[in-house]
Chain A
Amino acid sequence: MNARPVPSARQSKSLLEVSDLEVEFRTDEGTVHAVDGVSFDMSDGEVLSIVGESGSGKSVTAMTILGLTRGPNARISGSVRYHGKELTDASSEELQEIRGDRIAMVFQDPMSSFNPVQRIGDQIVEAIRAHRDVSDEEAHRTAVESLSSVGIPDAKTRARHYPFEYSGGMRQRAMIAMALALEPALLIADEPSTALDVTIQAQILELLRQLNEERGLSVILITHDLGVVAEIADRVMVMYAGQIVEQGSLDEIFYDPQHPYTWGLMGSLTRLDQPPPERLPQIAGAPPSLLAPPTGCHFRPRCPHAFGKCIEQPALEQRLPTARGHLDRCWLEPSEKKEKREVEGRIGLEAPA
């Protein structure tokens, strides 16, 4: 049911292939359908951005790739392949080999991601020695090099410091240094700059871009900030209520968005390079509960353009004749969309009547 962006013949060359991924958690209140049929491919050296609000399933998707959502109350189906190797049924040992070594992850909150009572350098050394048979001195050298490569001044001294002696921006750099110490092919960054101040955010994004350009590092960047996306992504996936509602190249998503939710996201932004609108366009309502997502199109209850057909769930597929790889889940005709998304001279979601 879910279209794949890349034809199957090329799939073995993909760095990562996720297909029809479903993640459910049983809770006291019922089953949470966190991820509902997510499929995408990633090639080497690509920066893929997953955009969505809280509860859209973007973090659960990323964590499931690394097997971090496994648990007695979780049901995971579908497939995640890394260089052709299936990860959903890999043993914990196999996963541990890949985790940190081939695919690394950095989290939003650099304060709580480090062990507070161990020196930063020692934590990186531990990660290195868990994967590589090297001496303590050698691992230490790598750790210091790694810290220095992410722009930590006086890395040798800094490696001996504890996390509390680092500032927020430095801790996030150190987190990235740890993630990169083993030279992984793929970095999953979950809101890496959200907890940071704008001037520090600019530094971290600059660093990620450099790593992507110089080392060919592939990045999955999870964020809710479309400014960050515009800064760094090659391709964008927009998620809503556990599903991908639109995916395409950076330009396709920003200049020819096909899904009303994407329009809403764009419309509610305040842009510093344009005069501010009189009133901020807003998306009515709130994201749905994942215990019982709406039937049909999940965005239907909040969508001013919903019509009869929306009671049926639209598939994620190519709906524009020309743009291959630009997929969306909306029943509206592409020609209608062009008209409907124009709100006061910019892309947006019109206010409900």
Chain B
Amino acid sequence: MAKGEPLLEVSHLVKHFPIKQGILIDREVASVRAVDDVSLVLHEGETLGLVGESGSGKSTLCRTILQLIEPTSGSVKYGGRELVGVSRRDLRPVRREIQMIFQDPYASLNPRKRVGEIIGDPIQLHGLGSGQELRRTVQELMDRVGLSPEHYNRYPHEFSGGQRQRIGIARALSLRPKLIIADEPVSALDVSIQAQIINLLEDLQDEFGLSYIFVAHDLGVVRHVSDRIAVMYLGKLVERSPGPVLYERPIHPYSVALLSAVPIPDPKANAARNPIVLEGDIPSAVDPPSACRFHTRCPWATEICSRDEPPLAEYESGQAAACHHPRNVDSRMIAGATVAPDSPESATDVLPAQTEREPAATR
């Protein structure tokens, strides 16, 4: 891998799930557009937070990156190597380097296997160790993630939720991966345990130089761990931003609404905030709204939003947002905006400056 090249480069990734109907011949009648032209970049040692509501395509995106689901089109490059369309056999060495941690520690561990086997099996399958040496490696891993190595022979049901998530983390670490995709790794855990797991993941990142894609719907957790954050809505990437800036000055109205919907655990500060309560639900991905997919729920939407798909516009703040009526930007920022090179192919190149008739809104 050349120096400075990203570890992972996802470009124009599309995943449509066909909906089939018919008795003798399966006709494709429609498709669920789960991920629709998403581009992302992840550098080594970095954490990319992925946020959005259920149905926004976060999990499908993760699974498509791993080639657990075959993408409809687009490209995923890992260390400069294309993964899309590569045979299973050729994917194997890459799979070793990209591991996944799942949301539900109850469902993602085989209940009939002992913890030692769960953590050690990947090592054995990849032919990286066996016998006493394997046992020692596994016990070291257990110790590292905060499990007692004497519990080597126990079954998953003998552990609490937080400990089970530690088992899942030890399993993911067992092959010494470079990239870990964590899909809602703490949302099933109690608050006091969440902090333990997040701290552990951060320590491991420093120790092993890991990169993370961290999927979560809890925006507080995402802010804590992420260097950069991508916000998804209904299969589209709506905003991409360096972590801290997103929380101070979200540009896309959906990011604004999402952040404002989180109640603050402080009665006075909470009463002082003025949340934007979005109407209705996230629309169906089978028949998504035209042009900007958020226009049906957006408080700032105008006629252009249902007509022209906004391009991903890059701002000087390092943020990029796909919106005709960006928030928290001034006229200077709008004037300096450019169309991102990886803006979706279906989008127009109409930048906000050319559409905004009223003076740019600063909230």
Q: Residues 212-238 of chain A: 1 if any B CB is under 8 Å from the residue's CB, otherwise 0? A: 000000000000111111110000000
B219-A272 in contact (CB<8A): yes
Given A199-B53, A287-B190, A270 contacting B217 (CB threshold 8 A): no
Given A167-B281, A199-B53, A227-B262, A268 contacting B219 (CB threshold 8 A): no
Given A168-B54, A276-B224, A286-B162, A251 contacting B267 (CB threshold 8 A): yes
A227-B265 in contact (CB<8A): yes
From residue 149 to 197 of chain A, which have CB atoms closer than 8 A to chain B?
Answer: 153, 167-170, 197
CA distance A174 to B89 in the complex (A): 50
CA distance A199 to B191 in the complex (A): 20
The residue that B262 contacts in the complex, of A203, A265, A272, A281, with Cβ under 8 A, is A272
The residue that A203 contacts in the complex, of B218, B221, B277, with Cβ under 8 A, is B277
The residue that B270 contacts in the complex, of A167, A198, A231, A265, with Cβ under 8 A, is A231
**Is B223 positioned at the interface, with any CB of A under 8 Å from its CB?**
yes
A228-B195 in contact (CB<8A): no
A230-B199 in contact (CB<8A): no
The residue that B266 contacts in the complex, of A170, A201, A271, with Cβ under 8 A, is A271
Within the complex, what minimum Cβ distance (angstroms) separates A204 from chain B? 10
Number of interface residues of A (CB under 8 A): 44
Q: Residues 223-257 of chain A: 1 if any B CB is under 8 Å from the residue's CB, otherwise 0? A: 01111111100000000000000000011001000
B264-A276 in contact (CB<8A): no
Name the A residues within 8 Å of B257 (CB-CB).
199
Name the B residues within 8 Å of A200 (CB-CB).
53, 281
CA distance A23 to B192 in the complex (A): 25
**Is B261 positioned at the interface, with any CB of A under 8 Å from its CB?**
yes
CA distance A67 to B351 in the complex (A): 61
Name the B residues within 8 Å of A268 (CB-CB).
191-192, 194-195
CA distance A210 to B258 in the complex (A): 22
Given A169-B281, A197-B54, A280-B199, A270 contacting B192 (CB threshold 8 A): no
B281-A286 in contact (CB<8A): no
**Is B41 positioned at the interface, with any CB of A under 8 Å from its CB?**
no
Within the complex, what minimum Cβ distance (angstroms) separates A218 from chain B? 19
The residue that B263 contacts in the complex, of A54, A230, A270, A276, with Cβ under 8 A, is A230
**Is A206 positioned at the interface, with any CB of B under 8 Å from its CB?**
yes
Within the complex, what minimum Cβ distance (angstroms) separates A56 from chain B? 9
A227-B190 in contact (CB<8A): no
Q: Residues 90-113 of chain A: 1 if any B CB is under 8 Å from the residue's CB, otherwise 0? A: 000000000000000000000000
B contacts with A: majority SS: helix
A272-B192 in contact (CB<8A): no
Name the A residues within 8 Å of B281 (CB-CB).
167, 169-170, 200
B275-A198 in contact (CB<8A): no
The residue that B192 contacts in the complex, of A202, A231, A283, with Cβ under 8 A, is A283
A282-B264 in contact (CB<8A): no
Name the A residues within 8 Å of B220 (CB-CB).
269-272, 276
The residue that A279 contacts in the complex, of B53, B160, B199, B282, with Cβ under 8 A, is B199
The residue that B261 contacts in the complex, of A168, A169, A198, with Cβ under 8 A, is A198
Within the complex, what minimum Cβ distance (angstroms) separates B295 from chain A? 15
Name the A residues within 8 Å of B265 (CB-CB).
225-227, 229-230, 254, 266, 269, 271
CA distance A167 to B53 in the complex (A): 13
Q: What are 29 A-B pairs at a CB distance below 8 A?
A: A53-B190, A167-B281, A167-B282, A198-B261, A199-B257, A199-B277, A202-B261, A202-B278, A227-B265, A228-B263, A230-B265, A230-B266, A250-B267, A265-B192, A266-B265, A268-B195, A272-B219, A272-B259, A273-B266, A273-B273, A276-B220, A279-B202, A280-B194, A280-B195, A280-B198, A280-B199, A281-B195, A287-B160, A287-B192
Question: Which B residues form the contact surface with A (CB < 8 A)?
Answer: 53-54, 160-163, 190-196, 198-199, 202, 217-221, 223-224, 247, 257-259, 261-267, 269-270, 273, 275, 277-278, 280-282
